[in-house]
Amino acid sequence: MKYRILLDMKDQLFTAVDIKDSNIYGNGTTIEQAINNLKQKAA
């Protein structure tokens, strides 16, 4: 799975977004959390 990482500077929240489908994403306070949440939603 390929993804991109975004950072919301205001809320200090990372978002991992699937490159192929931007409707699939995961949020977290760390990059690792965001990636794990993305993988759970994609499964």
Q: Is the pLDDT of residue 37 over 90?
A: yes
Please write the tens of the pLDDT for every residue from 9-35: 999 999 999 999 999 999 999 999 999
Task: Tell me how far CA of residue 24 lies from CA of 21, 28, 33, in angstroms.
Answer: 6, 14, 15
* Single-letter amino acid, residue 9: M
Length of the chain: 43
With contact defined as beta carbons under 8 Å apart, do 13 and 22 qualify? no
Q: What is the pTM of this model?
A: 0.89
Please give the Cα distance from 4 to 18 (Å, whole number): 7
